[in-house]
Structure 1
């Protein structure tokens, strides 16, 4: 058993590993042609020595056959250096080399010994030298095939040594012993060399495997780092890198065409999450990620920035063409999304900024596209807005407003006007506090402007709390039956710091919470529905009331209204502008009023300006009114006079 294992170890080719076979083949393809060249030269020299002394078959024709075979094999191996065969063909080629080495070695040594008796002592010495050198050459050049050396030792060296030992000349037995010992020692050295060769190849195989695994891991990490895991689109990091690269290419060669950046925001996505749950919300985002690229030009990069916001790098095109491209994308998203839980319909709004006319850096380009998006959402939700000089002026104005907001003392810079909220007889139910700002540098700044800028700059809390404190001081001088209505922004409601400060102001002013009505818009609630509900519930637990302001302009939905902790709905003024002329407007107002009655809510209508409007609203069941028909906003100093006039009217009625 030990002998069989030794034989298997010595003569096994170890070529079951494809990478090892390739290394053997590569090494041999360089060395075999050289080996055959040496063999050919040795055979020609030996054959020439015996020409005229030995028969032609031995000295001419047989060597010619050997030379032809060697030439063919040498050329084939040389050809293989430039044309790598398959692993299977490689295995056959290596086995062929082993077989030919043994067969050719045995044949050539037999030929050499056949010539031995035809020469004198000198030619016989050359004969022995030829055999030894040829075998050493073959074993050395075929070192990657470790089974060749022991095979040739058995097939050639041993028979040759026996042949020499049987000669009458005493020198030849000594040469035989010397040959066996020397070549046997060489075989041991070559076996160690082959082991080193094998170990080196296997280590290289291991290193290559580790490198492949590392590259695969790097690829996976790179994919995770640059791909949105939910939608499979490029993520924010990948988008910004691609944006910077496009700008660098443009500035680098001057030949890259300009492009445009678009930012697209879904309208109505948050209610989907709230009504159907986040699982449906995720599936909706995945479907949006499928529809968007299909509706845009093939060269467009589509990325998900986070939440329900997506970004585009659009190919060069004119302003009108860019708008049309993005309108088609928005139209693709307007079709209903059908899920097992129900059908969902959303819309989207898009802002675009063109490079290089709008900005020359990625950061500025992104900011201006975002500004165009915000402008579009505020003025024409569901549309496409391309950043222009008009928006540039808006940015500069917003920056100036933000700069002034950071430097002013709110109590000194701002003041409050109060607009009454009345019943159907015109008697006041309370007053809504309205912030006003007249700046010595900017002049009169509209509330919608400074409130939006304050929210974007994170300064709204700086304004809200001092103004609420001022409103509480004013309301303490009013009759006890009048409420104070105060507006809260989305940032106020979602800010734990601001809400804590408001509750602290109520306690500090010793003002009855039951006389407070906090107004918040639908869109503000939907910024973070859960947190808004928690904050409003906290106010109601304190005893205050909550009104849903600008009803009908945001995400009106009974599915979430029943979950809101509210006491009053304020119908937006846009619903009564054409109340006298449009039957549809009247039907909508009746429906809202009826809904409020069913839900046990007060229904207050804003923007009342005519007696006809008031008459219709009163007959429709609305419980309160606000508008220029009753009174414009007034400073605190005028409230006492207004209340006196209303009291006189009540007495004379």
Structure 2
């Protein structure tokens, strides 16, 4: 590429907007012009180097994804001629991805903004970059003046050095502080924290507190980034008040903050931190909206938990993770052994992601048996994870991880897809039942996703029973009702799982389209020894029959359980007495070869003889 020649620039601030979408260019152009800037619009970045030079551009807004020349290619090209300080570039991207942002910043972007662009945030970020550019140009002018002054006027040297130092201090302050909140940033935090740690003594200790906001993402999603940014500014002010007497507050990025609190005894520190958590119970008034968020705190203590900034911040983050796992809006202190548990959990989470992506987690099937005849009417799908080094990972270990990390939806669909393919051709067309996690009811598209799997596998919805626990109903009853009604309308059957152990009310049974109540195993296991358990089972069976619902007992482990349940009028049962969950290939083999009508011996897996949907 040839040499770029820059002529004498004009006085007005000029901004170059490069976006291949005309609507985006026009909106950004008009808004920037109303703010007093001169705007140059381009539909592509083919000649961006020449445009910056010839149009005397002060700031560039550059679209990341463009067909003729990508944002990263244009960024690399212009950085060969224009440095970051004098020609700042703000990347605009619809991909809110760490990889994209890291690539942009590595290539020389000064800042970024996500699409759709919030115009108020755009103007604020433009001002920050232009202020920084002005400071850089001011430094250039001061340095030039100093060089001339040394030659011409030695007597003015002291004054001009003072001016240069003041400008450099302003630039340094900008480099050490968060542009949105004004709080010190991560770099400044490290410097200050190391200073505190250097002065530790027996009387004075340091608490490093990691602060993470609860429910911050829904604020951005519901009210927009302008309200989210205003919330962060308000919280920065609150944290500054907490540390105003002595201490230090910094923003790491997003909704993550760090507090550095010197203390002499733990009791006042505990009171201070508990008050901070409680202070978030009061809603924030923001731009006409009342916004509620919580705060979860993780605390590491110096010198007990570490003597350097990196170790303390990492262990505060580990404690924060522990606090989140215990329910959020609380605080937790770092304890020995947390590091190892976090690493083990992180490794298991990574393995789980890989296992789901590669289809390693497989469906096993446990029979649902008609107690009066011994006939198998269907099977419940249970997820099994054969890990290459850990062996069979228990579901009660990996299912909660899937729920916490948002993997549960992908896991459920993957297991259901395999189960449908395996069970499609089984003789007798038995029904299969699938338990849906309460977390999944937050997804309004859940019915469409399940139906898509059934369509792909050509599995009839009428052969599917969806099991939902009482917890899902309490979390968001209206959302659960919409999802369940949609599933019912598609032809699927609905079962209320673990009935009697949670929060179900007659309202739930009256307003939701249940077909079956499933009696929790805890009641079944106590039937032979507890009249109370027997009475509860009798009541649940009677309630189901009065409401026209089927009833299934879980945890049937002995012939005595089966006989007692049948005597009380229970129709279906599942449990080890009838058979453990096994792979689909085993079920297919049994269905293909077993023709006997004799009941299986107690405690032995039951071979399906007559299966009906």
Q: Which has the higher helix share?
A: 1
TM-score w.r.t. length of structure 1: 0.46
Q: Which has the higher strand share?
A: 2
TM-score w.r.t. length of structure 2: 0.49
Between Structure 1 and Structure 2, whose CA radius of gyration is higher?
1
